[in-house]
Amino acid sequence: MSSLLFPSTLKGLDIEVDRTSQFSTMIQTSASGKEQRATFWTVPRWTYEWTLNFVRQAGFSAKTLSDELLQLASFFNTMRGAWDSFYFIDPVNGSPTACPFGTGTGAQTVFQLVDNEGYSAGIIQSAAIYVNGVLQTSGVSYNATTGVVTFTTAPANGLPITWTGQFARICRFDDDTMTFKRFMQLAWDGGTVKVITLK
C-alpha cells in the first residue's frame, strides 16, 4: 500500500460528488416467505465518483502553477490503475469540526478518533484535540497515531472530548483506465473519476 494522498485540490474537480455506502448482506428466503439475514460488514465501503471537468498543462496561463495533467496522470500510473491503494480525503466527511469521540472517565486514557458518522478515522492528516472545549497540546497532553489518541493524564469524569482536523480513507481506483480528451490547447477533459475504499 502506498502512502500517497490523492490530489484532491485540482481546480477542475466538479463540486458535485456521488458518494455511495455499501454493506454486504446475505438474505435467504424460505418457502413461506420468511427471511433470514446475515450481515458481514460492520463498516461500509464507500465509493466516490465525480467529474473532472478539466486539467491544465503547464503554460496554460500565468496562474497555472503546476502541470495538473502530469500530476494526475503520474498519480494514476504510479498506482497502476486499480492495483495499488492510496489515501483519499472524503469531500463530505473528511474534515470534522468539534466532532465528539469520547467522554472522560477519570481512568481511561486511550480513545479512538471517529468521524461525524461514528466510524473510525484512521489515517489522520491533522488533528486538534479538545477536552471540555480546551485545546490540548500534542506531545504533552496526548499523543496520536493512526487515529488512536493516548492522553498522558486521563480526562476527568464526564468531560466531553472532541476533535477538529482532517483524515483520509484508504482507497483505490475503481478500474484500470483513465482517459483524457483535449478540448483546447493545454487543457484536457478528465472525464469521470471513481475511487472505492478498502478494508
Task: Give the residue-averaged pLDDT of 156-179.
Answer: 95
Are the C-beta atoms of residues 197 and 119 closer than 8 Å to each other? no
Using CA atoms, how far apart are residues 156 and 126, in angstroms rounded to an integer? 25
**Closest by alpha carbon to 164, among 124, 117, 127?**
127
pLDDT at position 66 is: 79
Are the C-beta atoms of residues 55 and 10 closer than 8 Å to each other? yes
Q: Give the amino acid at 121.
A: A
Instruction: Reply yes or no on whether the pLDDT at 7 is more than 80.
Output: yes
Q: What is the pLDDT of residues 25-81, one digit of tens each?
A: 999 999 999 999 999 999 999 999 998 888 888 888 877 777 888 889 999 999 999
Give the pLDDT band (50/70/90) at residue 175.
very high
Using CA atoms, how far apart are residues 69 and 161, in angstroms rounded to an integer? 42
pLDDT at position 14 is: 78
Q: What is the pLDDT of residues 15-28, one digit of tens each?
A: 788 999 999 999 99
Residues 6+ apart with CB under 8 A from 77: none
By CB atoms closer than 10 A (0-12, 13-18, 19+), residue 148 is middle
Q: What is the pLDDT of residues 116-161, one digit of tens each?
A: 999 998 789 899 999 999 999 988 888 877 789 999 999 999 999 9
Give the pLDDT band (50/70/90) at residue 172.
very high
Chain mean position to CA 153: 30
Using CA atoms, how far apart are residues 77 and 66, in angstroms rounded to an integer? 18
